Amino acid sequence: MKKKLAALLRNSIETCIGKEILSRGDILPVGVELPREGAHGDYASNIAMVLASTQKTNPRKIAGAIAGNIDDSEGILEKIEVAGPGFINFFIKKEAWISLLEEVDMQGDLYGESDAGRGKKVQVEFVSANPTGPLHIGHARGAVTGDVIASILSASGYEVSREYYINDAGTQMQILGKSVWYRYRELMGGGIEFPADCYQGDYIRDLAKKVQEQYGESLSQSDEKDAISILTGFAAGIIMEGIRDDLCAFGVIFDRYFSESELYRDDGVMRLLDELRGKGHVFEDAGALWFRTTAFGDEKDRVVVRENGEPTYFAADIAYHRNKYARGFDIVIDIWGADHHGYIPRMYAGIQALGKNKSALEIVLVQLVNLLRRGKPVAMSTRAGEFVTLREVLDEVGKDAARYNFLMRRSNSHLDFDLELAKEQSSDNPVYYVQYAHARIASIIRTAAERGHSVPRFSGIDAGLLGLPEELTLVKLIGQFPELIEGSAQSLEPHRITFYCNELASTFHGYYNKHRVVTEDEGLTKARLFLVAAVQTVLRNALRLLGVTAPEKM
Partner RNA sequence: GCGCCCAUAGCUCAGCUGGAUAGAGCGUCGGACUACGAAUCCGAAGGUCGAAGGUUCGACUCCUUCUGGGCGUACCA
One DSSP character per residue, 381-434 reads BTTTTB--BHHHHHHHH-HHHHHHHHHTS-TTS-EEEEHHHHHHHGGG-HHHHH
User: Rounded to the nearest whole angstrom, what is the least distance from the CB of residue 521 to RNA in the complex?
Assistant: 11
Q: Which is nearer to RNA, 49 or 76 (CB)?
A: 49
List b or e across 140-171, with b for residues whose CB sees 16 or more CB atoms inside 10 angstroms: bbbbbbbbbbbbbbbbbbbbbbbbbbbbbbbe
Q: Which is nearer to RNA, 122 or 219 (CB)?
A: 122
C-alpha distances in Å from residue 521, one per residue of 92, 459, 524, 532: 28, 18, 5, 16
User: Rounded to the nearest whole angstrom, what is the least distance from the CB of residue 189 to RNA in the complex?
Assistant: 33
**Sign of the C-alpha dihedral computed for residues 459, 460, 464 and 468 taken in this order:** negative
DSSP state, residue 354: T
User: Rounded to the nearest whole angstrom, what is the least distance from the CB of residue 382 to RNA in the complex?
Assistant: 11
Q: Which is nearer to RNA, 176 or 354 (CB)?
A: 176
User: Rounded to the nearest whole angstrom, what is the least distance from the CB of residue 117 to RNA in the complex?
Assistant: 15
Q: Which is nearer to RNA, 18 or 68 (CB)?
A: 68
User: Rounded to the nearest whole angstrom, what is the least distance from the CB of residue 444 to RNA in the complex?
Assistant: 4
Q: Which is nearer to RNA, 88 or 143 (CB)?
A: 88
User: Rounded to the nearest whole angstrom, what is the least distance from the CB of residue 237 to RNA in the complex?
Assistant: 17
> What are the strands, taking DSSP E only, across 31-86?
32-33, 43-45, 77-83
Q: Which is nearer to RNA, 205 or 509 (CB)?
A: 509
Helix axes 313-326, 268-278, angle to 10 degrees: 90
Q: Which is nearer to RNA, 354 or 531 (CB)?
A: 531
User: Rounded to the nearest whole angstrom, what is the least distance from the CB of residue 377 to RNA in the complex?
Assistant: 9
User: Rounded to the nearest whole angstrom, what is the least distance from the CB of residue 5 to RNA in the complex?
Assistant: 13
Q: Which is nearer to RNA, 23 or 491 (CB)?
A: 491
User: Rounded to the nearest whole angstrom, what is the least distance from the CB of residue 219 to RNA in the complex?
Assistant: 25
Q: Which is nearer to RNA, 219 or 273 (CB)?
A: 273
C-alpha distances in Å from residue 106, one per residue of 393, 529, 544: 40, 16, 19
Q: Which is nearer to RNA, 22 or 444 (CB)?
A: 444
H/E element, 121: strand 121-125
User: Rounded to the nearest whole angstrom, what is the least distance from the CB of residue 395 to RNA in the complex?
Assistant: 18
Q: Which is nearer to RNA, 118 or 306 (CB)?
A: 306
The SS3 assignment for 137 reads: helix
User: Rounded to the nearest whole angstrom, what is the least distance from the CB of residue 36 to RNA in the complex?
Assistant: 4
Question: Residue 445's closest CA among 369, 382, 378, 537?
Answer: 537
Q: Residue 216 is which amino acid?
A: G
C-alpha distances in Å from residue 367, one per residue of 149, 314, 326, 337, 339: 16, 22, 30, 6, 8
Could you give the CA distance from residue 100 to residue 398 in angstroms, rounded to a whole number?
36
User: Rounded to the nearest whole angstrom, what is the least distance from the CB of residue 151 to RNA in the complex?
Assistant: 18
Q: Residue 212 is which amino acid?
A: Q
DSSP state, residue 119: T
Query: 301 and 292 in contact (C-beta within 8 Å)?
Result: yes
Question: Residues near 8 by Cβ (< 8 Å), separated by ≥ 6?
Answer: 70, 71, 72
Could you give the CA distance from residue 303 to residue 321 in angstroms, rounded to a whole number?
17
Longest Cα separation, the chain:
95
Could you give the CA distance from residue 150 to residue 121 in angstroms, rounded to a whole number?
11
Could you give the CA distance from residue 328 to residue 439 in angstroms, rounded to a whole number?
42
Q: Which is nearer to RNA, 111 or 432 (CB)?
A: 432
